[in-house]
């Protein structure tokens, strides 16, 4: 285990959103990041699709390539965490063992299972990936012809088909406060001006 170090009097952590494509991981990561930024905390979002395009270009969707992708995301997250950054990752990360390894390497790690029925994810199909997978254009797609291994003991489970993105985000923030990962509003030097009021800078119309 690699322990995160204090930076500016605060310890970094990794908040790992895992779930099917279209479940709402990227949306929750962005909304949570906005709340943390408004509280004056250093934040970085590592989106699985963006990392795959830049850091992991050339990797396919075999189990080996998926594991490599997640390990690279975990490595970058660990480096940022060591310098006091609140790191939010949004990646399918379908395999339990790989997630366990990343958790062990990072240490200060919170897993959020973004749960949503496959039928709902297919109906959303924000990126058009399910249509391609179901037609055979994409092989080894998680949830279609490749498994997703649900977390057995995550820090938090969010059922995105049962609540609004804002409600889900509030639960994530409360979990981080209860775990001591971030200060509560009463502990925050900026006081109540940073209170949660659901007045987010944009309206979420669809989950990513």
- Establish if 195 belongs to a structural domain: no
Quote the tokens at residue 100.
Answer: 């366990």
Quote the tokens at residue 83.
Answer: 């310098």
Confidence of residue 195 (pLDDT cuts 50, 70, 90): very low
pLDDT for the residue numbered 86: 98
- What's the rounded Cα separation, in Å, for the pair 12 and 82? 6
Is the C-alpha dihedral spanning 94, 98, 102, 103 positive or negative?
positive
The CA-to-CA distance between both ends of the chain, in Å, stands at: 31
- Establish if 185 belongs to a structural domain: no
Structural domains in the chain (count): 1
Q: How many CB atoms lie within 10 A of CB 130?
A: 22
pLDDT tens for residues 70-85?
999 999 999 999 999 9
Helix (H) or strand (E) holding 169: helix 165-179
Query: DSSP class of residue 135?
Result: T
Q: What is the CATH number of the domain that holds 83?
A: 3.40.50.300
- Establish if 164 belongs to a structural domain: yes
Residues forming a β-bridge with 158: 114
What would the mean pLDDT of 98-112 be, rounded to a whole number? 97
- What's the rounded Cα separation, in Å, for the pair 102 and 119? 29
**Which among 102-106, 185-189, 190-194 has the top mean pLDDT?**
102-106
Q: Helices marked H in 14-126 — which ranges?
A: 25-38, 48-54, 63-82, 96-106, 118-124
pTM (two decimals): 0.85
- What's the rounded Cα separation, in Å, for the pair 184 and 195? 9
- Establish if 77 belongs to a structural domain: yes
- Establish if 163 belongs to a structural domain: yes
Nearest to 18 by CA among 84, 64, 59, 66: 66
- Establish if 142 belongs to a structural domain: no
Contact 86, 177 (CB under 8 A): no
Q: What domain range is 166 assigned to?
A: 6-119+147-178
Nearest to 37 by CA among 201, 208, 178: 201
pLDDT tens for residues 131-183?
999 999 988 899 999 999 999 999 999 999 999 999 999 999 999 999 999 99
Contact 29, 86 (CB under 8 A): no
pLDDT tens for residues 16-73?
999 999 999 999 999 999 999 999 999 999 998 787 666 655 667 778 888 888 999 9
- Establish if 186 belongs to a structural domain: no
Which residue is catalytic, options 4, 21, 93, 168?
A: 93
- Establish if 199 belongs to a structural domain: no
Q: Based on the residue annotation, tell me whether 93 is a catalytic residue of this protein.
A: yes
Residue 121 has pLDDT above 90, yes or no: yes
């Amino acid at each position: 285990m690699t322990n995160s170090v204090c930076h500016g009097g605060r310890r970094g952590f990794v908040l790992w959103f895992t779930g099917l494509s279209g479940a709402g991981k990227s949306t929750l990561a962005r909304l949570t990041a906005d709340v943390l930024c408004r509280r004056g905390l250093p934040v970085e979002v590592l989106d699985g699709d963006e990392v795959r395009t830049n850091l992991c270009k050339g990797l396919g969707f075999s189990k080996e390539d998926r594991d490599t992708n997640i390990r690279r995301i975990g490595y970058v997250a660990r480096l940022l965490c060591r310098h006091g950054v609140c790191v939010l990752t949004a990646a399918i990360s379908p395999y339990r063992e790989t997630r366990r390894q990343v958790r062990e390497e990072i240490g200060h790690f919170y897993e959020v299972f973004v749960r949503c029925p496959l039928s709902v994810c297919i109906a959303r199909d924000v990126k058009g990936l399910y249509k391609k997978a179901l037609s055979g254009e994409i092989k080894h797609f998680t949830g279609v012809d490749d498994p997703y291994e649900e977390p057995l003991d995550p820090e938090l489970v969010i059922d995105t088909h049962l609540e609004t993105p804002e409600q889900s985000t509030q639960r994530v923030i409360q979990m981080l406060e209860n775990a001591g990962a971030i200060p509560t509003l009463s502990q925050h030097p900026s006081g109540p001006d940073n209170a949660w009021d659901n007045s987010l800078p944009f309206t979420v119309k669809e989950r990513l």
